[in-house]
């Protein structure tokens, strides 16, 4: 398999594999509502090195009085679409708590290089298990602690009042049902020039000691805006076959602000 094809295989996972458990050490400020609100939409350019390779869209909405629905899509274009076309769609539904999101059902409709499949996690928290299915295959995964899907986990982290120096351990799980321990660090605040303007951000480093990748601090870094929104604005991942990144290109923050406002003001 060529290096390009290998990148295509890890590309969707690296885009989304971040955090799968709520960080219990971070305490939200009761006077502020950190994180996403219904109506938020984030649009990212995904790149391999300096080459634009795909588009990712993430949406957050309310379901009923206390539920949520996360929708995400990942679509390749350009050279990546020629060598390894990807068109994946994700939907997560669950409960929106004051300090975290708790997923009930995570579903991925995968279409990668002509291969289609459906992957699903159903979280049976009372019985400490995840009901996993992939096409016709199904099994139970025993779990301990506040395991979540990775989309809900990223949004849960956004709901907390993280400060530079905070660090903790948590658990991540891949779609191959493999569990890993992850170490998380909140780094020094950083001003960042982005396609949607100059932003004050809080970088977060992820290290996974018992994996083949992300063993060193700085191998996997993502940036949140350093404000109540905690919007995800950039991800940078170092791999053995190049660097993969995501940059926020457009947004609607659900609070009445959007990247279109910046264009008008500029």
42 SS3 class: strand
Give the residue numbers spanning the domain of 249. 3-265
Determine the average pLDDT of the residues in 221-227: 92
Mean pLDDT score, 32-45? 92
Residue 182, pLDDT > 80, answer no
Q: For residue 200, is pLDDT > 80?
A: yes
Q: According to the model, what pLDDT value does residue 211 have?
A: 67
**Count of domains forming the chain:** 1
Q: What pTM was estimated for this model as a whole?
A: 0.83
Q: Which of 87-91, 220-224, 238-242 has the lowest mean pLDDT?
A: 238-242
Mean pLDDT on 151-177: 77
The model's pLDDT over 93-105, given as tens digits with 9 standing for 90+, comes to 999 988 888 899 9
Residue 21's DSSP bridge partners are: 147
What is the pLDDT at residue 176? 60
Tokens in use for 252?
Answer: 């609607």
pLDDT at 20 over 80: no
Full 3-state SS string of 102-171: EEEEEEEEEEECCEEEEEEEEEEHHHCEEEEEECCEEEEEECCCCECCHHHHHHHHHCCCCCCCCEEEEE
The SS3 assignment for 35 reads: coil
Average the pLDDT over each of 55-59, 234-238, 252-256 and give the range with the smallest value: 234-238
The mean pLDDT of 133-156, rounded to a whole number, is: 83
Query: Rounded mean pLDDT of 160-187?
Result: 74
Give, in order, the Cα–Cα distances in Å from 155 to each of 72, 94, 150, 168, 193.
12, 12, 9, 17, 23
Euclidean distance between CA atoms 65 and 193, whole angstroms: 37
pLDDT band at 171; cut points 50, 70, 90:
low
- Flag the least confident range among 21-25, 31-35, 48-52, 130-134: 21-25
Reported as a single tens digit per residue, the pLDDT across 108-142 is 999 999 999 999 989 998 998 889 998 888 989 88
Mean pLDDT score, 145-151: 76
Distance, in Å, from the CA atom of 143 to the CA atom of 250, rounded to the nearest integer, reads 37
Task: Write down the pLDDT at residue 7.
Answer: 40
pLDDT of residue 166: 87
Q: Which residues contact 248 (CB under 8 A, 6 or more apart)?
A: 42, 43, 44, 194, 195, 196, 231, 232, 233, 234
For residue 204, the model assigns a pLDDT of 87
CA–CA distance, 204 with 223 (Å, rounded to integer): 6
Q: What is the pLDDT of residue 172?
A: 64
């Amino acid at each position: 398999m060529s290096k390009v094809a290998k990148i295509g295989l890890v590309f969707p996972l690296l885009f989304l594999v971040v955090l799968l458990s709520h960080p219990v050490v971070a305490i939200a400020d009761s006077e502020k509502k950190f994180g996403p609100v219904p109506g938020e939409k984030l649009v990212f350019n995904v790149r391999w090195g300096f080459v634009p390779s795909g588009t990712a869209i993430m949406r957050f909405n309310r379901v009923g009085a206390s539920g949520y629905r996360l929708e995400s899509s990942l679509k390749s274009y350009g050279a990546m679409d020629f060598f390894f076309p990807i068109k994946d769609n994700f939907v997560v539904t669950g409960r929106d708590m004051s300090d975290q999101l708790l997923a009930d059902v995570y579903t991925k409709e995968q279409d990668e290089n002509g291969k289609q499949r459906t992957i699903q996690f159903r979280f049976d928290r009372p019985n400490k298990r995840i009901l996993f299915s992939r096409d016709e295959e199904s099994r139970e995964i025993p779990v301990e602690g506040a395991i979540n899907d990775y989309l809900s986990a990223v949004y849960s982290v956004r709901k907390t009042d993280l400060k530079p120096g905070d660090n903790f351990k948590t658990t991540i799980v891949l779609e191959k049902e493999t569990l890993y321990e992850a170490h998380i660090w909140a780094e020094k605040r950083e001003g960042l020039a982005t396609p949607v303007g100059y932003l004050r951000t809080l970088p977060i480093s992820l290290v996974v000691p018992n994996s083949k990748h992300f063993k060193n601090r700085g191998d996997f870094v993502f940036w949140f805006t350093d404000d109540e929104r905690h919007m995800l604005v950039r991800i940078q991942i170092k791999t053995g076959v190049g660097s993969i990144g995501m940059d926020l290109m457009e947004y609607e923050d659900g609070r009445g602000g959007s990247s279109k406002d910046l264009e008008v003001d500029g």
